[in-house]
Amino acid sequence: MLSGEVSERGGSQYRERMELLERTTDIPDPLTPYLAVDRSRPRHECWVTGHMVAGLDGTAAINGRVGALSTAPDQVLFRRMRQIADVVLVGAETIRREGYAPIQLPDDVQAHRRAQGRSSNPPVVVVSRSLDLDWSGRVFTEASPDARTHVLTCATADPDRLAEAERAATVIVAGHSSVEPEAAMQALADRGHRVVLCEGGPRWLGELVAADRLDELLLSVSPLMGGDLLPVSVAPPGAGIAQFELKSTLVEDHTLFLRYEAARTVGGAARTEDGTA
Ligand SMILES: NC(=O)c1ccc[n+]([C@@H]2O[C@H](COP(=O)([O-])OP(=O)(O)OC[C@H]3O[C@@H](n4cnc5c(N)ncnc54)[C@H](OP(=O)(O)O)[C@@H]3O)[C@@H](O)[C@H]2O)c1
């Protein structure tokens, strides 16, 4: 892959100067810039990284699935990024459509994690209000005891489904009538999960963004257009504008890999008349 470091821009002030990100530095391992990020000092309860892929038109799915959007280098990076995670967080609709399995990292990575006192593999954490999930699915039945799949749900969940969920997974209730991102991240942090990798989907990611809980976004831009009318993040009603700063770029096989970190959240009142922050 070819990389470009993005220089600091001195706060949010616009300097009327553009920079050409040239294809200058060939890096042997694309994971290097991602592993170098210090995620030990999160702004809130834990560090939350979103990892998403979009088409050039911003689409997040093709015919309800993400696979056709993802190029070969994106698929490799997507799998490998899981090694940074204490947990892999996913919205229920993504689990239903994509048919998740437990995360299985390569043996050497598992050994390295164990040596650091971490679980061999990060557990999957599913967010669901309805608890309308297939409990016979691999993500529940094939998870190892040290990486048992978790379900994040809310207090008003159906009691029968809740009982079913408790048989198949570790259940965390975080919120009354919906899972509240702040309570959910606190509950994960209380269990020692400090680095949360959110793999979507767009609706759950939008809730994290609206609650100012997204610290980092890894966005792969795939060289195609024409997918579903679904952006990579769906803002819930009333959400403010969240701002991010570009930290690094990589490119391979016509796919652009962007790494952003949260700058600050700008609510509606802070916006100027022309819509800029
Ligand atoms: N481009 C990418 O990188 C990418 C990544 C992931 C997924 N996708 C695509 O995105 C689509 C699915 O995404 P999506 O946005 O429709 O769904 P999603 O975010 O995966 O899941 C939405 C579901 O999560 C649960 N949920 C979300 N917020 C909640 C809250 N505050 N409290 C309780 N439960 C909550 C609800 O589950 P219940 O309905 O069970 O209550 C809700 O229906 C698929 O087409 C998938 O292929 C794309």
Ligand 1 touching residue 55 (CB < 6 A): no
What integer pLDDT is reported at residue 267 of this predicted model? 45
Domains of the chain, first to last: 48-58+70-85+195-268 (3.40.430.10), 108-192 (3.40.430.10)
Output the residue whose Cα is nearest ligand 1's atom 45.
64
The two three-digit tokens of residue 210, written as one number: 């609206």
Ligand 1 touching residue 66 (CB < 6 A): yes
What integer pLDDT is reported at residue 87 of this predicted model? 98
> Which residues, at least 6 apart from 219, have a Cβ–Cβ distance to it below 8 Å?
52, 53, 54, 232, 257, 258, 259, 260
Tell me: the pLDDT tens digits for 218-253? 999 999 999 999 999 999 999 999 999 999 999 998
What integer pLDDT is reported at residue 23 of this predicted model? 64
Ligand 1 touching residue 100 (CB < 6 A): no
Output the residue whose Cα is nearest ligand 1's atom 13.
201
Q: Report the separation in Å between the CA atom of 184 and the middle of ligand 1, taken as the mean of its atom positions.
A: 16
Ligand 1 touching residue 97 (CB < 6 A): yes
What letter does residue 134 receive in the DSSP assignment?
-
What integer pLDDT is reported at residue 5 of this predicted model? 64
What integer pLDDT is reported at residue 31 of this predicted model? 93
What integer pLDDT is reported at residue 148 of this predicted model? 97
> Which residues, at least 6 apart from 78, have a Cβ–Cβ distance to it below 8 Å?
51, 53, 70, 199, 220
What integer pLDDT is reported at residue 70 of this predicted model? 96
Ligand 1 touching residue 168 (CB < 6 A): no
Ligand 1 touching residue 134 (CB < 6 A): no
CA-to-CA dists, residue 179 to 95, 176, 191, angstroms:
17, 7, 17
pLDDT less than 70: residues of the chain: 4-15, 22-23, 264-277
Ligand 1 touching residue 98 (CB < 6 A): yes
| Ligand 1 mutation target, pool 139, 203, 220, 233, most atoms within 8 A of CB | 203
What integer pLDDT is reported at residue 10 of this predicted model? 47
What integer pLDDT is reported at residue 182 of this predicted model? 98
Tell me: the pLDDT tens digits for 146-164? 999 999 999 999 999 999 9
- Please tell me the distance from the alpha carbon of residue 5 to that of residue 85, in angstroms, as a whole number: 23
